[in-house]
Chains A and B, each alone.
Chain A
Amino acid sequence: MTAATDATTKPSPVVDDAAKVPTAPARRARGEFLFFALRSKKFLISVAILLVLMCVAILGPIIDPTNPLAQAGLPMRHPTLDPGNWFGTTYFGEDVFAQFANGLRASFFVGLLGGGLGAAIGMIIGFVAGYRGGWIDEILNMVTNVFLVIPTLAVLLVITSYLQARGVMFEAIFIGFTSWPWAARAIRAQTFSLRSRDFIDLAKLSGRSGWKVIVFEIAPNMSSYLFLTYILLFGGAILIAASLDFIGLGPTGGMSLGLMMYNAVTWAALQLGIWWWFIPPGIGIIALVGALYVMNVGLDEIFSPKLREL
């Protein structure tokens, strides 16, 4: 009876023994993990992509230390023309690859930090609101709603106008603090419907603290859902950052994939046919975010046997 579903939905018959129920299958799952991980095409492919991107982001600027904002060749050079600028050059003769690598770095950073922050806040609020319900729920709900509808763009405008220069760090933190509401709402909704399941009641009956129930009963039950949430926030953060950069609220003086597109557009790369200026950043974001999503499903199938069977 190794099925995760079996273990998590089975009412634990002996009161003092309840704690074992969720943990036991978890242990086994860990054992199975590697085995299936190495057999999941989705997982392997996405991990491969992420590793490649990570190498580019980390090693790229080291191997090719070209300053992304400095003139590194003739302007508007087609990728095939100069070996020095194998991604071509921008309108100013900046090296597109240098910009791409540094931009990718920024994206990873924003995703990890912004997404992580958002997920953390979202889970805490979502769980508590959904599990406790009542007035706590009402209040947290209110907070969430406020954050949900506050025009973050406007807030960003106010904040940035006080900063002479905005960094990627700032952008990431800002995104983290503004992107959690939907996650909180989603997690709350899930928790809400789980709350009324018997095994939760039982756990409650067994007099376990709310936190224990959340951590050991609810969270494991929606772990893959939580992971999906984090992945979405991770990717979301990257996409939001790109949008911010694109409307000209991005990091000043730095480089990011969104900024590349912004510059490409303001400098009419489209009309001048400098496609190699705005195609790479898009591909980069898609590859990065897409790989994250695919990996999520891969892991999903690894964790949950039922999916494997499909």
Chain B
Amino acid sequence: MQVGKSRVLALLAAASIVASACGSSTATPTVAPTTGPGATPTVAPTAAPSATGLPATDTTVYPRAQTLYTSGKQWGAPSTWNPLDPNAAMGVVGLQYETLFLYDPIKDVYTPWLASGGSWDSTNTTYTINVRQGVTWSDGSAFTAADVAFSINLYQNTTLGSDLFTFVKAVTVSGNNVVVTFQGTPAYQEWNQDLYNMPMVPAAIWTQYNNENIFKFLNQNGVGTGPYMYKTAAQDRMVWVKNPNWWATAALGLSVQPTYIVDIVNSSNNVALGELLSGGLDLDNNYLPGIAQLVSGGYNITTYFAGPPYMLAGNTAWLVPNTKKKPLDDPAFRKALAEAINPQNVVVKDYGNIVAAANPTGLLPVWDKYVDQTVVKNLGVTFNTAKAKADLKAAGYKVGSDGFVTNKDGSPIKLNLEVPDGWSDWMEAENLIAADAALAGININPTHPDDATVVNDEKGTSSAAPTFDLVINNDVQIGSTPWTYYDYIFRQPEIAAGPARNRNYEQYDNAKAWALVQKLDQTLDVTAMQAITSQLQTIQLTDEPIIPLWYNGEWSQVNNSVWTNWPSDTTYHVQPATWNGYWQMGAIYMLTNIKPAG
């Protein structure tokens, strides 16, 4: 009888989950898009496939062979599908909503996408977009120049606050073209960036949401032009289903292979790794410890490079000093600190060679052509403990009784290095950095308070200035222009402390540099740009406002047991990542190139 009881309980338990799970898939709040004239946005996506000759199987079970499992972008439960919201679910921009161009950082080329072309006029003052014809929204209506114009204007919504509105004057439709005029010299670099980041949305549906509450529109199951459509979402996953009528199939002969894409919310790296090893996950964009061992471990796992550094470089990790504090306000001290640190230690001991030490400028490899090697050779800092000691001495920092250098006034120096608790690879890195610095007599105290505290110390608050001594930061991702990199370092005027401070954490103040950065933004010609970046590098390597350490990898590991022919340096060269912006940087080609295994 007791046994009976237990069985009943088990049943009840399971039943309650079934109920809840069924509920939860629809639990995510939706704002019903009220149908604008002519547009019927509420198409049941599950209905579409069966209607259009897709495998008429039970669409609530995704056949493994037709499903791509990804993970890495989504840290929280998918909660908004608004392509303008930086927190939109994985793939909203790229899989569901598309941009005018794609940009390939590896080849540094723009590929027309929703635009069939685009060009500056002779004077480089107006930009004309040729809108691609024959593109349809997933609700069947046609994609028009009006939609493009609307989307560009929408992108100027101050709540979204791209800087677009600061330099775009007018956006006008002329036939199948959209003509954009600018105030003064166009910010070419930013504009080019926007060309592959602005999602194109249907004007008919979005007109009503273009206000300061635009983020309130969650747009679940929205209408886009992309190769995938919303299938379902739950606390731990985002599911996309193939759009059978994707324009690129006809127009470019491209066809995405997976019928379903299931993006798994990161619960923790190790779970992801487990899934990856067991073939439950095809593409994992998490940082996974020990991947080097796994690649050679016969798990059928590969990375972009077969050997070190295994990954493409995704961003630069810097040591950010607080230049408003003694002794970090002294360029000589900062340079000595830079010389004291051996990034190779982090590369080898912490990351096991899955990252590479950074170039003294910190510019990512994709921006190599903007690095002035002579400047680097003359001014570039390299690891040299002895030199660090010497330079400190020369700069007037005496060694105290405890063997650590002291301030010029004799007061002890103890620099707190903060990384967020739980960021295991950085926590290890800070220990190595502290150890290196100690050898040169610089006392660094590695701490890892929780993330909120770090952010707080880094950004400061409306009431308090930033309090950090040293932090590690890697906010600048790869992109079309080195401008973002230098804008990040030299941004002026100083941004008020608080959430909005997301640049120039070191609070380095150099008007000349800032002027150059703005000029860079408004420069189109590469050689002209190189001239500017060379000057910027001179300033950077002289003052060392920020200390580049290593290139964080574009974490990407794939399991070949279900899908093969992944991007790599031996196959085809595209970004193997699912993060925001990467689909438009070529990752979409990954979906058209992978093949079912066997």
Q: Which residues of A contact B (CB under 8 A)?
A: 69, 71, 75-76, 91-92, 160-161, 164-165, 248, 252, 263, 265-268, 270-272
Contact bitstring B433-462, A, C-beta under 8 A = 1, else 0: 000000000000001111011000000000
Query: Which of B270, B424, B428, B453 neighbours the largest number of chain A CB atoms within 10 Å of its CB?
Result: B270
Cβ A267 vs Cβ B424 within 8 A: yes
Q: In the bound complex, what is the Cα–Cα distance between A165 and B422 (angstroms)?
A: 13
Given A71-B349, A265-B270, are A272 and B293 also a contact pair (CB < 8 Å)? yes
Is B269 an interface residue, CB under 8 A from the partner? yes
Q: In the bound complex, what is the Cα–Cα distance between A271 and B350 (angstroms)?
A: 18
Cβ B270 vs Cβ A267 within 8 A: yes
For B422, list chain A residues within 8 Å (CB).
Answer: 248, 266
Given A91-B290, A92-B428, are A164 and B447 also a contact pair (CB < 8 Å)? yes
Q: In the bound complex, what is the Cα–Cα distance between A51 and B25 (angstroms)?
A: 54
Q: In the bound complex, what is the Cα–Cα distance between A272 and B297 (angstroms)?
A: 10
Is B289 an interface residue, CB under 8 A from the partner? yes
Separation in Å of the B418 CB from the closest CB of chain A? 9
Q: In the bound complex, what is the Cα–Cα distance between A164 and B273 (angstroms)?
A: 31
- 12 more contacts with CB within 8 A, not counting A248-B422, A263-B424, are A75-B352, A76-B290, A161-B453, A165-B449, A252-B448, A266-B422, A266-B424, A267-B290, A268-B269, A268-B270, A270-B274, A271-B274
- Interface of chain A, main secondary structure: loop
Across the two chains, which residue of chain A brings its CB closest to B424? Answer: A266
For B296, list chain A residues within 8 Å (CB).
Answer: none
> How many residue pairs between the two chains, A and B, have CB atoms under 8 Å in the bound complex?
55
Query: Which of B268, B416, B449, B452 neighbours the largest number of chain A CB atoms within 10 Å of its CB?
Result: B449
Given A91-B289, A92-B428, are A252 and B270 also a contact pair (CB < 8 Å)? no
Cβ B447 vs Cβ A165 within 8 A: yes
Separation in Å of the A159 CB from the closest CB of chain B? 12
For B277, list chain A residues within 8 Å (CB).
Answer: 271
Q: In the bound complex, what is the Cα–Cα distance between A145 and B452 (angstroms)?
A: 31
Is B421 an interface residue, CB under 8 A from the partner? yes
Given A92-B428, A252-B421, are A271 and B453 also a contact pair (CB < 8 Å)? no
Q: Across the A-B interface, give the 8 residue pairs with the lowest CB-CB distance, nearest first.
A: A268-B270, A271-B273, A268-B273, A271-B274, A267-B289, A266-B424, A272-B290, A248-B422
For B447, list chain A residues within 8 Å (CB).
Answer: 164-165, 252
For A160, list chain B residues within 8 Å (CB).
Answer: 450
For B350, list chain A residues within 8 Å (CB).
Answer: 92
Across the two chains, which residue of chain A brings its CB closest to B422? Answer: A248
Contact bitstring B395-439, A, C-beta under 8 A = 1, else 0: 000000000000000000000100001101000100100000000
Separation in Å of the B294 CB from the closest CB of chain A? 8
Is B239 an interface residue, CB under 8 A from the partner? no
Cβ B450 vs Cβ A268 within 8 A: no
For A165, list chain B residues within 8 Å (CB).
Answer: 447, 449
Separation in Å of the B212 CB from the closest CB of chain A? 32
Cβ B431 vs Cβ A69 within 8 A: yes
Is B587 an interface residue, CB under 8 A from the partner? no
